[in-house]
Amino acid sequence: MGTRKFIFAGAAALGMLATSALADDMTGMVTRIDRLNSTISIQQTQTGTVGGSAGGAGALREYKAKDAAMLDAVHAGDRVTYSATDNNGTGTLTKLQKQ
């Protein structure tokens, strides 16, 4: 039980480090939308040439929409640009635009 808590705590810490720059515009692909709960899952598009892989996928993250109406213009599979804030591990989507 103690080992499992340690692993989850480490994973949470890494997740926070990976999302510390959420204020900047990011790009990704919508993988899931839950309009009832105003949440959206976005697979972030990896940028740069780190590792030399072309077109690799970044982290999958779920966000709560600041305004539920912003989810009306997108569907699963759409490529989007977005901005989000991070508040105690909960991502809040502040801007969403279909590419």
Where residue 48 sits, what CATH number does that domain have? 2.40.50.320
What is the C-alpha end-to-end distance of the chain, expressed in Å? 45
82, 93, 71: which is closest to 26 by C-alpha?
82
Query: Domain range for residue 6?
Result: 2-98
Distances in whole angstroms, Cα of residue 71 to Cα of each of 2, 19, 20, 81:
39, 21, 23, 13
Residue pair 51/99 in contact (Cβ under 8 Å)? The answer is: no
**What pTM was computed for the model?**
0.66
Question: What pLDDT score does 33 carry?
Answer: 97
| Domains identified in the chain, total number | 1
Question: What pLDDT score does 81 carry?
Answer: 96
Residue pair 78/65 in contact (Cβ under 8 Å)? The answer is: no
Report, as an integer, the average pLDDT of 10-18. Answer: 54
Report, as an integer, the average pLDDT of 25-40. Answer: 95
Residue 86 has pLDDT above 80, yes or no: yes
